[in-house]
Structure 1
Amino acid sequence: MEEITSESWSNKVLQEPAAACFIYSPLCGTCGLAERMLLPMEILYSDISYYKLNINYIPELIKSEKITSVPCLKLFSYGEVKRTIYAFTSVPLLSEEIERFYKLIN
């Protein structure tokens, strides 16, 4: 998962046919767990580009993307939000959500 900044946001995420953006805080224990849950998704759904953003450095994106809490996973297709996930309850449920997104865009 590539760490990006708000400056590289439009060049990376908004141009991708399928992009997953993980928004986190480094002091959030749940965020660390959620990030580990995403590791198998990167292998299973390798056609999706995976990015992560530290919420402390993206105040303008918090407002524009309506991020209400962390951890947050936003799934985009060419800059359009297709899914937003806040609940990282299990790897199988996360996989189902990403599978739905994958089917939606293909």
Structure 2
Amino acid sequence: MKSYWISLYLKVENQDNLKKYAEVVTPIIKSFGGVPLVRGGKHETFEGDDFVRTVVWEFPSFKKAIECHNSKEYLAGWDIAKHTTVRHMQVIEGFSTE
């Protein structure tokens, strides 16, 4: 079953850090089978908190998504932005109605 990283950014204090983080981790995430679906972009909030940025990555499995997140390479990349960025990040397994 496909799974998804969903990152909802509450605050970004340093855009340069976030940009460098994205440059470093994008090839790492792709090496675990991650496919970018949403990265920022135009949005409208109808209910709840309005996040400054939303990022969604699709993975071939829950296991691969967790392996990627817990990899030393990804965690080293996250170190670039984690002190200037506040986000809610979760990995969630998809489902099918078929």
Give me the TM-score of the superposition, normalised by structure 2: 0.35
Q: Point out the structure with max Rg over C-alpha.
A: 2
Larger helix proportion of the pair:
1
Give me the TM-score of the superposition, normalised by structure 1: 0.34
Larger strand proportion of the pair:
2
Q: Which has the higher contact order (CA 8 A, sep 6+)?
A: 2
